[in-house]
Structure 1
């Protein structure tokens, strides 16, 4: 079974009755073969289901409306095997509320030079049939992915999967529920935002709960459940024997088990796949969850510290988009700099970094937490895996949202950090810290981000287009002055496109 289970992409082929029943039968057969071939590909992560050939405005409208109402259909791949007059598509595309990809391909790769005749030409008209279809998408001002190339080519299948993963993230965003335990950190600007606008734009719901609600869920956890959880910790992590022999350290570890099980029970009962908390808002809890939050993130929950619900939602969405990938995704913060050659950023947080970003076995330690409730807290210690990564920030611009992405290269720290009791990742921003940090600040990027090695920029861009929000990239070719111009041009475009 594909990693996305029952979720699927519909493959719909356009044609017309002009060519006769024999051609349409061949079109249908070829369409099924392409859908089956994409499904069978190791590069495609979801089932591609053939939904046949549409030849009239009514058939097109019917399949688009059916896609809208099918919760397992997360998007459509549309292809014009022959010439499909695009006026037929206006009603269907106007009604469609699922994302679609325009696959510009042809059933056979090479032309049969010695046998080619007009029958072949009439059957294989994608070269201009897709151009007719592309016009109406542009005329309707619809954002869509266009992938060009033969459907059996590996690079084409990878592009198809990039879009499939973005569509899965968008489907998750439409149904995502997020729980806020407490409020935002006081006086912080960037973690605030308009939750109604976010739900209109992205679909996800943000629900607030008092800490007493969570405390009740934690109080229900039994000693037997906690003991069983500690056995899991022994299997999953390195833990010094002293943690279990020292009464105080053992109590702190048991406390994390209680918090983890209580939070997970609360989230599962309410259908929540992301959450936030805040070190300033812990009344009724035994402390700020450390190991508990890290483990929940490693199970796929999105998280944002200090009430940062936008980052928590994006963290969950990216985890869904990267499902099945070995590389991980975590809540992150640009914490401190190493100015040198080259300049570097040490990313971390007080406690809550997801172990999925590391390929080493994490270690559980009990150390003092010095912000908010000052007490000993169990947490996982590890270092992020070297390699390319992306830092993603979603910000509320007041009248709209912006997604900012910075390409970075994660590296191994030049020395051990024996006195730093938190998980961390060290990276070098592209093109440099000097340029990247200036561009990030000009764009209004937050100090929190979603750090990921599990998705690429194409996937993120596809998601941003599905959401209808601005995305700006800080990468190897970024120039601050040109980047500022891009921000100004984008401001004009998005204000005009959304109306004044």
Structure 2
């Protein structure tokens, strides 16, 4: 359960209308050369880039999206330099769980009327393809973004990067497989958004664990495991002299049980209802130490059984490198401070 250290990964989809193969026999080669230059520019910014083959029919788009999924791509950049009909692209893109960004890629940085001929048109008329595809994707309900600009412009990479980070966040949330322990905090309704449309679209369903089930997991922790974790705490933390051995052992058993649960269901996020856990005498611990240690290793966490925020924390950790969970308690109005 370590923090993700691999590069942000972008998949570049290369569409071209099939009819253009009769007009320009070399259009595929030209499109791939242009894409190669774009890919090198993106790699220079630290991105991992995977370019598809040229796609012209729906079956090829479906295969390319599946390949992107198999390679763990964070974002599909639909690079429309020539036109390609929305009916070729939209079905597979709408079905894909990977976030989508539309881009009218061009070889031209400037428009020179005296030099604008059929050859110039070939790889520089994707704007209306973006318009076509955006209209159709919007009708399907598929979320997507649009970016404009030439890849050689100084600010292009800085504008693209947040989209790729957002893609990593969404993909990490989709794959978080969150666990909820102890249900929701009763009557705290703003956190109970598991039925929201954006969650449904992600296809995420939490693993629900009762407080009683978690207590059984704690009871199964061995003395040897407990001693090992207590010794680790003493090496890692400055511990108060009034922190008794029983409390240290209970904290260790809670962390060991939670780790075992997450590993058993291959989860990367947990929403813990501290009230239910504390009220059960067999647990009697909100598991805050366990949650903090796990967050330092890349696991998402949220209190009050809020598994949706937990998977968001997981996503932000993967997208930004560091993220944590806290609650705002008090405001210093004169000194402009917050107590978290």
Shorter-normalised TM-score: what interval? 0.7 to 0.9
How far apart are the structure 1 equivalents of 2:116 and 2:192? 64
SS at match of 1:11: strand
How far apart are the structure 1 equivalents of 2:177 and 2:256? 19
Q: Kindly tell me: are residues 255 and 171 of structure 1, through their superposed partners in 2, closer, same or farther at Cα, counting changes over 3 Å?
A: same
How far apart are the structure 2 equivalents of 1:95 and 1:180? 28
1:112-155 Cα distance to aligned partner (Å, 9 max, x none): x7x95636513441xx3223332331244253222222224453
The question of whether the paired residues in 2 share the 8 Å contact of 1:6 and 1:72 is answered with no
Shift of 1:303: 1.9
Match of 1:320 among 292, 302, 318: 318
How far apart are the structure 1 equivalents of 2:134 and 2:55? 17
Match of 1:31 among 35, 46, 61: 35
1:362-381 Cα distance to aligned partner (Å, 9 max, x none): xxxxxxxxxxxxxxxxxxxx
Q: Kindly tell me: are residues 289 and 154 of structure 1, through their superposed partners in 2, closer, same or farther at Cα, counting changes over 3 Å?
A: farther
Matched, 1:207 2:207: yes
Q: Which has the higher strand share?
A: 1
Shift of 1:201: 3.6
* Aligned residue in 2 for 1:253: 248
The question of whether the paired residues in 2 share the 8 Å contact of 1:77 and 1:103 is answered with yes
* Aligned residue in 2 for 1:72: 72
Q: Kindly tell me: are residues 338 and 235 of structure 1, through their superposed partners in 2, closer, same or farther at Cα, counting changes over 3 Å?
A: same
TM-score with structure 1 setting the length: 0.57
* Aligned residue in 2 for 1:122: 121
SS at match of 1:77: strand
Shift of 1:218: 2.7
How far apart are the structure 1 equivalents of 2:215 and 2:145? 46
Q: Which has the higher helix share?
A: 2
Shift of 1:335: 0.9
The question of whether the paired residues in 2 share the 8 Å contact of 1:175 and 1:203 is answered with no
* Aligned residue in 1 for 2:100: 100
Match of 2:295 among 297, 316, 334: 297
Match of 2:135 among 134, 138, 145: 138
> Where do residues 6-85 of structure 1 align in structure 2 (5 Å cutoff)?
8-15=9-16, 16-42=20-46, 44=47, 47-64=48-65, 66-67=66-67, 70=70, 72-85=72-85
How far apart are the structure 2 equivalents of 1:303 and 1:91? 35
Q: Kindly tell me: are residues 236 and 92 of structure 1, through their superposed partners in 2, closer, same or farther at Cα, counting changes over 3 Å?
A: same
The question of whether the paired residues in 1 share the 8 Å contact of 2:272 and 2:302 is answered with yes
| Bigger mean CA deviation after superposition, 140-149 or 102-111 | 102-111
* Aligned residue in 1 for 2:218: 218
Please give the root-mean-square deviation of Cα atoms over the aligned residues, in Å: 3.3
Shift of 1:336: 1.6
Q: Any gaps of 5 or more consecutive residues in structure 1?
A: 348-500
The question of whether the paired residues in 2 share the 8 Å contact of 1:67 and 1:98 is answered with no
Shift of 1:67: 5.0
> Where do residues 458-477 of structure 1 align in structure 2 (5 Å cutoff)?
none
How far apart are the structure 2 equivalents of 1:294 and 1:231? 17
Q: Kindly tell me: are residues 267 and 118 of structure 1, through their superposed partners in 2, closer, same or farther at Cα, counting changes over 3 Å?
A: same
The question of whether the paired residues in 1 share the 8 Å contact of 2:169 and 2:312 is answered with no
How far apart are the structure 2 equivalents of 1:201 and 1:87? 22
SS at match of 1:50: strand
> Where do residues 180-195 of structure 1 align in structure 2 (5 Å cutoff)?
180-195=180-195
Q: Kindly tell me: are residues 338 and 150 of structure 1, through their superposed partners in 2, closer, same or farther at Cα, counting changes over 3 Å?
A: same
* Aligned residue in 1 for 2:257: 262
SS at match of 2:334: coil
Q: Kindly tell me: are residues 341 and 228 of structure 1, through their superposed partners in 2, closer, same or farther at Cα, counting changes over 3 Å?
A: closer
The question of whether the paired residues in 2 share the 8 Å contact of 1:106 and 1:150 is answered with yes
Shift of 1:74: 4.0
The question of whether the paired residues in 1 share the 8 Å contact of 2:103 and 2:130 is answered with no
Shift of 1:99: 2.2
Shift of 1:20: 2.2
SS at match of 2:285: coil
1:315-352 Cα distance to aligned partner (Å, 9 max, x none): 222222223xxxx322222212223265x4322xxxxx
How far apart are the structure 1 equivalents of 2:276 and 2:59? 56
Count of residue pairs brought into register by the alignment: 328
TM-score with structure 2 setting the length: 0.80
How far apart are the structure 2 equivalents of 1:87 and 1:261? 52
Shift of 1:50: 0.7
